[in-house]
Amino acid sequence: MSEGKIVWSDTEGDLRKRKNKGNGDGPVDETTLILELRRLTSGKGRVVIEIKGLPQNKKWCQKLAKDLKKSLGVGGAYKNDFIEVHGDKMEAVQNLMDQKLIKWKKTGG
């Protein structure tokens, strides 16, 4: 039997595909934020800096990723719960975090 849930709306379309999670557009308190920086390498010697511990505010995270990539002159991406910056730029990423007054800690080896 049906649970009585509405699955289609003329104005919003298929309601089953809509994400019910909040997008977290609230303000980000950068003073309490501690990001985790990690250096990853692939089998071919490519290096990526991974930044985790991001807040739920997607726009803030996208802006941070854009600022990092633009100021370092490298590629990268913001994915669901982390930012990756291409290249062996750990010290430069740390310096940029310090300039933005964002606390960080280095994880991994």
pLDDT at 4: 76
pLDDT at 37: 96
Band the pLDDT of 61: cuts 50, 70, 90: very high
pLDDT at 27: 83
User: CA 36, CA 13: separation in Å to the nearest integer?
Assistant: 39
User: CA 31, CA 85: separation in Å to the nearest integer?
Assistant: 23
Extents of the domains making up the chain: 24-106
* CATH T-level topology, domain 24-106: Translation Initiation Factor Eif1 (3.30.780)
Name which residue leads in pLDDT, 28 or 101.
101
Does residue 87 carry a pLDDT above 80?
yes
For residue range 42-55, what is the model confidence (pLDDT) as tens digits?
888 899 999 999 99
Average pLDDT over residues 10-15: 79
Q: Is residue 38 within 8 Å of 49, Cβ to Cβ? A: yes
Angle formed by the axes of helices 90-99 and 58-72, nearest 10° = 120
* Stretch among 17-26, 35-44, 82-91 having the lowest mean pLDDT: 17-26
Burial 16-43 (b: 16+ CB within 10 A, else e): eeeeeeeeeeeebeeeeeebebbbeeee
Average pLDDT over residues 94-104: 94
